[in-house]
Structure 1
Amino acid sequence: MFGFFKQSPTKKRRKVYDQKLEEAMLAQRKGDMRSYAMLTAQAEEMWREIESLEKQQAD
C-alpha cells in the first residue's frame, strides 16, 4: 500500500558510485595513480552490482 515510500535500493548505491568516481578523478589530478586505479576498480565493481540489482527489479 505504501510502496511509494520505499526508496530504490540502487539510488543510494548510485550516489556512492558517483562519489567514488569523483574521488578517483581527484586522485588522478593529484598524480596518485595507485589510488586512482584502486578507486576506479571499486567503482566498476559497484556498477556491476547496480546493474544486477536493476536487472532483478525489471524481472
Structure 2
Amino acid sequence: MFTLFSTCPTRQLRKDYNLLMERAHFVRDKGNISRYILLLVQAEKVWEIIEVLESGGAP
C-alpha cells in the first residue's frame, strides 16, 4: 500500500547519469574533447555507484 511513497535509491543517480551523458555528448559535438572526457569519467563513477547499490553491496 505504501509502495507509492517509497523511493528507489538509484532513481536520482540514474537521472544524474543520464544528464552527465547528455552534457558529454553536447560538448563533444561542440568540439570540447577535454570537457567531454571529464564528463564521461564523472558519469562512469555514478554508474559504478548504481551497480554497487543494485547488487546489494555498500559503496
TM (norm. structure 1) is: 0.88
TM (norm. structure 2) is: 0.88
Which runs of at least 4 in structure 1 moved beyond 4 Å after TM superposition?
A: none
More helix by share: 1
Q: Deviation digits for residues 3-59 of structure 1, max 9, x if unmatched?
A: x111101011001100000000000000000100000000001000000000017xx
- State the match for 1:21 in structure 2: 21
Gap runs ≥5 in structure 1: none
User: What code does the residue aligned with 2:15 have?
Assistant: K
The CA RMSD over aligned residues, in Å, is 1.4
* Within-5 A mapping of 1:1-59: 2=2, 4=3, 5-56=5-56
Gap runs ≥5 in structure 2: none
User: What code does the residue aligned with 1:13 have?
Assistant: L
Distance in 1, matches of 2:27 and 2:6, equals 35
